Structure 1
Amino acid sequence: MIDRRRRALLGGLAGLPLASLPGCAGEPTFTQAGFTVFGQVWTLRFADTPTEQVNAAVNAAQGIVEPLYRRLHPWRDSELTRLNRQLAEHGEAAASAEVRALIRAARPLFEASHGRFDPSIGGLIALWGFHRDAGDTPITPPAESVLDAWLADAPSLDDVRIDDERVITTNPRVQFDFNALAEGFAAEQVLDALKTAGITDCLLDSGGDLYTLGQAGRRDWQLGIRDPRGDPRGRETLGGVRVSGPHALCSSGSYERRLRYRGKRFGHIIDPLTARPTRHNSGTTVLGRDPVIADGAATALMLLSPAEAEQFARHLGLDGILLVTENGRPWRDAGMQSAMSTTPAGRAIDWHTP
């Protein structure tokens, strides 16, 4: 399982400079600002919030996200790569509170997906060549015999336990990659910091995934769900949702990084049960309350059929899920059907059930 990265399913915000968007009489005034981390734009939109409070909040957010991303980088020298080396050499290592929290957060996703969502398979991700920056040379898939050999002694989150401040594994091939959780984990910390600073109304856009606090003034936040079958840079949508209070709307998709394998095109999300790229869905959207679970669930759903997805969503208590299958058929569960408040004008969407 890997997600690096899955932008463009959600309609979000853009722009880095501090910008105030005054409303009409009685309407809220929105202020928008942001920053860039490893080429990924994070934007915050505040409703009726003083400029000094906005500036402090954005600085605090950047002070959380950038250091966290550096500590959790899965292939550049980082706290995480050093931990992985120690696990391979000694079978145990001291781990930060953040790493331990991410392992614990991954457990319900691992169980609900029957092992398909597994952050311990960083070695498999590297084997496929995805431990590199986007724009590098084309990826050459590993040989079938290499993948079969990996499966014969595959690591699993079941091989891992936490003992006080130490992570212990019985399989030296365990290698953590938290890319499918790190964004939601960072967003959760940012939202906590905003609440501590007294900010009540904010929309956080981490480059496509959306996280909300409070309201857009006296109205719900209106979030659009982009259609993964169209141009990722376009504005085609499958509809939208209206939310207030703490919510997360997260996406995943196979549209950003693809490779050709045996004459077929595959996405970059790897199924640890087969050691091959998944081919169930081209895009997913999750509506939930927990930023970390929603972020991970969007990736996990890429590995599941619609029939499996319903049980997965119930297990995790998600508010709604939407899938677009590999053959382009959109599907949503009852929760997402209820949450979606709009349908794109002039378009008739043929929704399917399992």
Structure 2
Amino acid sequence: MIDRRRRALLAGIAGLPLAGLPGCGNEPRFTEVGFSVFGQLWTLRFADTPADQVTAAVRSAEAIVEPLYRRLHPWRDSELTRLNRQLAAHGEATASPAIRELIQAARPVFEASGGRFDPTIGGLIALWGFHRNGGNVDDAAITPPAEAALDDWLDDAPSLDDVRIDGEQVITANPRVQFDFNALAEGFAAARVLNAIESLGVTDCLLDSGGDLYTLGRAGGRDWQLGIRDPRGEGALGGVALSGRHALCSSGDYERRLTYRGERFGHIIDPLTARPARHNTGTTVLGRNPTIADGAATALMLLSPDQAGDFARQLGLDGTLLVTENGSAWRDAGMQSAMTAAPAGRPIDWHTL
């Protein structure tokens, strides 16, 4: 289970005024500003927001996201890699409040997924080679691990159940525990950004973290109009109108993968099998907690449709959908209520979770 450097969602804002230009009549004025972190574009789209607030909000967002990503990088030298080395060598290490918060935030997703969402499997992700390349790779770059190596890893696999927090200390008896928070980091950072810009007086903003969408307030006098990408095509599965604070997060096997001798291996790894997820090709989650929604979208990639409903209920999600590898589309009652049909796209026969 690792992060998706994906473009899983589309901001469905066609027909609204261009960023930075005044609307016509009662149309809101939008200002859109972006910044890049490790090659990933974060964008904030403000509605009817004074220029000084926009400037302060963007500066605040950059000051949160970039340092946090540097501290949590799972393979370049960072606070996280240093903590992982300490855990491997000594079984305990002092952790910053952010890392302790992420460990605690992962717990409900870990439990609801039956252990399939597990941030302690950084060593397994490295074994597959995804720590050596941030995007798609082919057989000229790396090869999949040998079956024997994966079976050996499973013999003494780490788990979040091997970890406890005592004050500022993270403690484990399993030296294979190696944290990788990429499946939570975007949502965690987004929550901090929304809190910060709201404290500056911003009331209406759409935050795009490079695919996942987080809303604050409204798009002027209307809801934010968002679209959910079809993981099996270029179109959209449907649209969602949101106001207030919401997270619309998605995951899929279409952005990062290893291709070896014509076979494609997705980047989301099931810790219970040590092999890539095979159930689904794309998932989307609607929720109120950005960190939980971000992690839940990844965890759903590892669950079958008959497991997804209970998973969503345990986490209190507002809506979930998934598209299986055979193209079957599933959604729960919450997502069915929230979604509107896409104006164009492939015909979809929805099943109910």
Which TM-score applies when normalising by structure 2? Answer: 0.94
Amino acid at match of 1:304: L
> Shift in Å at residue 10 of structure 1?
0.6
- Name the residue aligned to 1:169: 172
Q: Does the 8 Å contact 1:250/1:286 carry over to 2?
A: yes
- Name the residue aligned to 1:202: 205
CA distance in 2, matches of 1:169, 1:78: 20
Match of 1:193 among 191, 196, 199: 196
Q: Does the 8 Å contact 2:203/2:217 carry over to 1?
A: yes
Structure 1: which 5+ residue stretches go unaligned?
Answer: none
- Name the residue aligned to 2:257: 258
- Name the residue aligned to 1:307: 306
Q: After the TM superposition, which residues 1-16 of structure 1 pair with which residues of structure 2 at under 5 Å, given as runs? A: 1-5=1-5, 7-12=6-11
- Name the residue aligned to 2:25: 25
Q: After the TM superposition, which residues 154-303 of structure 1 pair with which residues of structure 2 at under 5 Å, given as runs? A: 154-231=157-234, 236-260=235-259, 264-303=263-302
> Shift in Å at residue 40 of structure 1?
0.5
SS of 1:328 mapped into structure 2: coil
Q: Does the 8 Å contact 1:240/1:341 carry over to 2?
A: yes
> Shift in Å at residue 19 of structure 1?
4.2
SS of 2:33 mapped into structure 1: strand
Match of 1:147 among 137, 147, 150: 150
Q: Does the 8 Å contact 1:266/1:279 carry over to 2?
A: no
Q: Does the 8 Å contact 2:4/2:252 carry over to 1?
A: no
Equivalent pairs, count: 346
CA distance in 2, matches of 1:346, 1:142: 38
> Shift in Å at residue 330 of structure 1?
1.4
SS of 1:84 mapped into structure 2: helix
Alpha carbons of structure 1 residues 4 and 237: separation in structure 2 relative to 1, 3 Å: closer
- Name the residue aligned to 1:76: 76
> Shift in Å at residue 293 of structure 1?
0.3
Is 1:342 the counterpart of 2:345? The answer is no
- Name the residue aligned to 2:131: 131
Q: Does the 8 Å contact 2:250/2:285 carry over to 1?
A: yes
- Name the residue aligned to 2:100: 100
Structure 2: which 5+ residue stretches go unaligned?
Answer: none
Q: Does the 8 Å contact 1:220/1:244 carry over to 2?
A: yes
Higher mean alpha-carbon deviation, 263-272 vs 70-79, is at 263-272
Is 1:89 the counterpart of 2:89? The answer is yes
Q: Does the 8 Å contact 1:12/1:209 carry over to 2?
A: no
Alpha carbons of structure 1 residues 170 and 44: separation in structure 2 relative to 1, 3 Å: same
Q: Does the 8 Å contact 1:239/1:341 carry over to 2?
A: yes
SS of 2:207 mapped into structure 1: strand
Which TM-score applies when normalising by structure 1? Answer: 0.94
CA distance in 1, matches of 2:161, 2:73: 23
SS of 1:318 mapped into structure 2: coil
> Shift in Å at residue 343 of structure 1?
2.9
Deviations 1:24-82 (A, max 9, x none): 11221111111011111100011110011101100110110000000000000000000
SS of 1:86 mapped into structure 2: helix
> Shift in Å at residue 243 of structure 1?
0.8
CA distance in 1, matches of 2:257, 2:61: 32
Q: Does the 8 Å contact 1:13/1:43 carry over to 2?
A: no
Alpha carbons of structure 1 residues 335 and 19: separation in structure 2 relative to 1, 3 Å: closer
SS of 2:306 mapped into structure 1: helix
> Shift in Å at residue 260 of structure 1?
4.0
Q: After the TM superposition, which residues 316-331 of structure 1 pair with which residues of structure 2 at under 5 Å, given as runs? A: 316-331=315-330
Q: Does the 8 Å contact 1:70/1:78 carry over to 2?
A: yes
> Shift in Å at residue 349 of structure 1?
1.6
Deviations 1:314-343 (A, max 9, x none): 100001011011111211111100000233
Amino acid at match of 2:207: L
SS of 1:238 mapped into structure 2: strand
Q: Root-mean-square deviation (CA), in Å? A: 1.7
Higher mean alpha-carbon deviation, 71-80 vs 216-225, is at 216-225
Q: Does the 8 Å contact 1:13/1:205 carry over to 2?
A: no
SS of 2:297 mapped into structure 1: helix
> Shift in Å at residue 348 of structure 1?
2.7
- Name the residue aligned to 2:41: 41
Deviations 1:233-271 (A, max 9, x none): xxx101010111000000100011223468642211100
